[in-house]
Amino acid sequence: MPLTQLAQTLNPPQTPTDKRGYDYDLVIVGGGIIGLTLASALKDSGLTILLVEAKVVSAAVAKGQAYAIHMLSALIYQGIGIWDKILPQIAKYSRVRLSDADYSEVVEFETADLGTPELGYVAEHQALLQPLQEFVQDCPNVTYLCPAEVVNTEYHQDIVAIDIKVAEEIRTVRSKLLVAADGARSPIRQAAGIKTLGWKYWQSCIVAFVQPEKPHNNTAYEKFWTSGPFAILPLPGNRCRIVWTAPHEEAKALCALDDEQFLAELTRRYGNQMGKLKLLGDRFIFPVQLMQSDRYVLPRLALIGDAAHNCHPVGGQGLNLGIRDAAALAQVLQTANAASEDIGNIRILKRYERWRQRENLTILGFTDLLDRMFSNNFLPVLIVRRIGLSIVRRVPALKIFILKLMIGLKGRTPELAKR
């Protein structure tokens, strides 16, 4: 539909018999993976949804971003009914090797630990984004508006009024609820005055694609160096995604190296288990931070994904926490709507906050502990962590507990994931 026509649908005329006083039940700001996941999860909810996205092509697509997709996230997408569209485009991993620099003790997580065919998946951004966009466009209860920008919000007792700019024209939409899925710097969160807690790490993260000479054998690696974690994630086409954390200045210096020098440093940390490496495309660098919003909800407002929290990239938790947020909020809203409750009421939204804020804080704390424990060479800490690795390696129950925690199989499971 042309943008001019689509803009006209934002503020449909009210008839004398229209008593609703709102245009949509729900407006989602942010049409990235998390916003699209929430809209998709509400396909059969009976709620009318407006999904607003400012950018036609996201920065994550431009940078070739890739993510670890945990088992619970896969189950959520299965429950939505979209997993069959995603799975052919992504890679599975059946083994995870966890090690501390050149220490000989290696902890291996395998499918036998869970009795599953795989432990998780790795997906490039577009492999998730495109199927979700296509799915949402087939949802009769969702209007997908892109590009468009929210320029103002006003919260009232019964509705939130949202001014949306489309093709140089501003229209006002009234909704029961506004959901911010608009990223770590969320303008919606900031405008609402929601404060955040956290800190910026002393590290930056370098990401790149490589192609090894030998097969990656569907194995993911997490190597802890004193400068920071170093992850290797398998991708289709025998490619791998490198996630390399280092102190800011070191990371900048590494990115400034020419390709040959960079590959030499990469091989030193990567090891020679897969032969010679070939660099594919550009390298990108971004700072690392931990952030937790002091609240996830206000009357008529809910935060999900990076708008609510950020964590260290160790363990690939970030996107997965957002997917769980979307599934949890969808369940709360659908249940409330089925009971004829007001989905924007703070009492309803607190159900979502109680569910997700504590669980996210647990993972944020766990990733922070991992980074601080392993990103230093202080002898007492080094001894403790290596003893810890030995214990994990030799105590199956502890190893399985840690594995389940990291892939989302601890905590409350959304109904979508049980279908």
Tokens of 335: 């249940």
Is the pLDDT at 164 greater than 60? The verdict is yes
pLDDT for the residue 173: 96
Across residues 114-141, what is the average pLDDT? 94
Is the pLDDT at 14 greater than 60? The verdict is no
Measure CA 87 to chain center. Answer: 17
pLDDT-based confidence at residue 344 (cuts at 50, 70, 90): very high
pLDDT for the residue 4: 33
Is the pLDDT at 354 greater than 90? The verdict is yes
Is the pLDDT at 1 greater than 50? The verdict is no
How do residues 304-330 score in pLDDT, each as one tens digit? 999 999 999 998 999 999 999 999 999
- Do residues 245 and 228 touch, judged by C-beta distance below 8 A? yes
pLDDT for the residue 104: 84
- Altogether, the residues listed in the chain come to a count of 419
pLDDT for the residue 56: 74
Give percent of the chain above pLDDT 90: 82
pLDDT for the residue 10: 54
pLDDT for the residue 59: 62
How do residues 181-192 score in pLDDT, each as one tens digit? 999 999 999 999
List phi, psi (to 5°) of 25: -70, -35
Q: What CA–CA distance (Å, rounded) separates 258 from 269?
A: 17
- Do residues 251 and 204 touch, judged by C-beta distance below 8 A? yes
Question: Which of 350-381 are b and which e, b meaning 16 or more Cβ less than 10 Å from the residue's Cβ?
Answer: ebbbebbbebbeebbebbbebbebbbeeeeee
How do residues 38-52 score in pLDDT, each as one tens digit? 999 999 999 999 999
How do residues 251-286 score in pLDDT, each as one tens digit? 999 999 999 999 999 988 887 888 899 999 899 999
CATH pick for 3-93+119-198+290-376+413-418 out of 3.50.50.60, 3.30.420.40, 3.40.50.300, 3.30.559.10: 3.50.50.60
pLDDT-based confidence at residue 58 (cuts at 50, 70, 90): low
Is the pLDDT at 62 greater than 90? The verdict is no
Sketch the domain layout of the chain as residue ranges. 3-93+119-198+290-376+413-418
Is the pLDDT at 63 greater than 70? The verdict is no
How do residues 64-89 score in pLDDT, each as one tens digit? 789 999 999 999 999 999 999 999 99
User: SS3 breakdown of the chain: % helix, strand, coil, rounded to 5?
Assistant: 40, 30, 30
Is the pLDDT at 36 greater than 80? The verdict is yes
pLDDT for the residue 60: 60
